[in-house]
Chain A
Amino acid sequence: MISPYYYQLLVIASINVIMALSLNLVTGCAGQLALGHAAFMGIGAYTAGILTSVYHVPFAVALVAGAAVAALFGLIVGLPTLRLKGDYLAIATLGFGEIIRVAILNMGITGGPFGLRGISKHTNLTLAVAAAVLAYLTMKRLMNSRFGRALTAIREDEVAAVAMGIDATRHKVLAFVISAAWAGIAGGLFAHWFRYLHPSSFAFSASVEILSMVVLGGMESLEGPVLGAAALTYAPELLRGVSDFVSRHRMMFYGALLVIMMLVRPQGLIGSGVKGLSISKLGRIHGVVRLPQMERVTQWLTAAKQRKHLNDSSVSTDSRVVEERLAGLGMSSGTGSRGTGIGSGGGEEHAGS
């Protein structure tokens, strides 16, 4: 049996994993920097918490309702803001996150500055871990789907993605909504674990903390955010055990640790370390990109588009076809510069190979 201390730590870690994975869909996969993610968690937490404590709705229903309301807010916030790019998007989401927090703080039903009390305990470790695993599997499926590849394309080069027929805004908003829904679930779990909610738990600093998890872990893979969430949940606790001085000022060391981590491994804990492959402005925000693979796909897509041999749906539904054809083109190294010598190359000859 694990001690209550580690039990709680594991529950929090699981919730943080869900938060990091959901933010990763927007920031890691789609390359859109969002700084108000904790607000969606807050919406989910308050919705679910109020539903179970005030209206005595079953926990499962409340959890789903929290996710739904968070998703709705994701849509409301995402629709106008996701037309913005880079830092502007970051600032707009930051602004919306703060507005949501202030709104929660000033509403009657939320308990305002006194917080929401009297939520019953429904979350346990099994449920939290199960939710985290489900979030991981969902994200895994999403990333390997047509939708996920479209997001990657948007991240790598939005202009090129749009030229390929991807509706960038629609994809980004959808990613934002899914991300908000998962944050809402994490919020519901959070509410029914701590049984008390306060708006300050969902402030800008919380959003920043989640972003740190994603970036620290590394945005290239799904394992990165998971690792980052686990590490940053545990780090303050680890510092607590070092010495009395460190324990008392552990947040100071936490901040220093973040800086040092970024200095040593700017690409995150899990990351290939291939730096500076800035193929676009968005790519530069993202930094670490899987250039060879992406380049290959982009090249192949360009060739296919130009020759109109294949319609759009067959282009992106099966990535194995892409790989085969790429192998056929002898481009598996992917080092050739984009768009040169491909259109004239073997696209047609190797089409059947």
Chain B
Amino acid sequence: MLQQVVNGLTLGSSYALIALGYTMVYGVLRLINFAHGEIYMVGALIGLMTSQAAGLPFAPAMVTAMAGAAIVGVIVERIAYRPLRKAPRLAVLISAIGMSIFLRNLALAVMGPQTRAFPIPFEVKQFSTGRFRMSSFDVLILLTSIALMIGLHFLVQNTKIGKAMRAAAEDKETASLMGINVNRVIAFTFAVGSALAAAAGVLIGMNFNAVDPSMGMMPGLKGFTAAVLGGVGSIPGAMLGGILLGMAEVMGVALLKSEWRDAIAFGILALVLLVKPSGILGRNVQEKV
């Protein structure tokens, strides 16, 4: 049981990292960034390349992956979303979908369709007491995720740019009237969200020892689910939603057949939406007439 909780926490914290990117972008742009799963994949890919080809140890590889993904995220926003700021929302959605297809197949062209193993740049220790097992991986994933989330919380709550992000999420026009460069804030939001996704990509890529071009699709959807679960647009909500989703999935697999894993996640999503569409920590938006 305790074992399941740990497994759920590790899986959940990686979902939470992905969910944060979705939720921050949604908060500012009201856009479901469908290319986010692909950013996660790009992050894992960069992490793989830097640790394999350049032979970097874990921490620098991670930082490179995050920085690389952040740049990709900003470029994606600049090319595919910014020109459509005033376009119909469905057009932006399709643009995001196109970007997602493009990135996935770009990765396919660069690295080929085969799944690559992720060399582990450090020694994995197993801690076990009785039936309870925990690898240094689990610890690493948990610690990194927690550190990143605390960092994000500090960034959003206590810095000037964080304040600008919150202002832009509240009301873009008013924020720009107050002298906030909204475009720069949005680019920054994409950079931060992408970096977090890349961190998740590297961690999960190492954990499952597999990186491939289509690895972003399911975690992308799951991260998105987690964001909705917690209340899309809410940062603590995304963290909570990620953890809850990871837990529920692990528990569900333990109780049911593992083939139903994905159905569990989306079943929970559907259920939450029907009971409380705004998510657990989301605000109920009253439609104004």
Contacts and interface: CB of A to CB of B under 8 A. Distances in A.
Same complex for A and B? Answer yes
Interface of A: 27, 33, 80-81, 84-85, 87-88, 90-92, 94-96, 98-99, 102-103, 105-106, 159-160, 204-205, 208, 211-212, 215-216, 219, 248-249, 251-252, 254-259, 261-263, 266-267, 275-276, 281, 284-288
Interface string B83-125: 1101111111111011111111110110000000000000000
Interface stretch (B126-134, B201-209, B254-262): B254-262
Interface residues of B, number: 50
A201 to B, nearest CB: 15
Contacts of A27: 90
B228 A259 contact: no
B108 A286 contact: no
B221 interface: yes
Given A84-B277, A99-B267, A287-B91, 8 more contacts: A84-B273, A90-B32, A98-B262, A105-B259, A249-B105, A252-B106, A259-B80, A266-B91
Contacts of A95: 225, 266-267, 269-270, 273
Nearest to A262: B95
Contacts of A208: 34, 97
Interface string B69-89: 000000000011001101111
Contacts of A255: 98-105
Interface of B: 26, 30, 32, 34, 79-80, 83-84, 86-95, 97-106, 108-109, 217, 221, 224-225, 228, 232, 257, 259-260, 262-263, 266-267, 269-270, 273-274, 277, 287, 289
Q: Is the interface of B mostly helix, strand, loop or mixed?
A: helix
Contacts, number: 157
Q: Which of B80, B90, B101, B232 has the most CB of A within 10 A?
A: B90
A91 B269 contact: yes
B95 A252 contact: no
30 contacts: A33-B93, A81-B274, A91-B32, A91-B269, A91-B273, A92-B270, A96-B266, A98-B262, A102-B259, A103-B263, A160-B289, A212-B97, A215-B90, A215-B94, A248-B109, A251-B101, A251-B105, A255-B98, A255-B100, A255-B102, A255-B103, A255-B105, A258-B101, A258-B102, A262-B91, A262-B92, A276-B86, A286-B88, A286-B90, A287-B89
A9 B224 CA distance: 35
B88 A285 contact: yes
Contact of A99 (B217, B263, B277): B263
A91 B98 contact: no
Contacts of B97: 208, 211-212, 258
Contacts of A160: 289
A87 B225 CA distance: 12
B91 A215 contact: yes
A106 B260 CA distance: 8
A216 B80 CA distance: 15
Contacts of A259: 79-80, 95, 98-99, 102
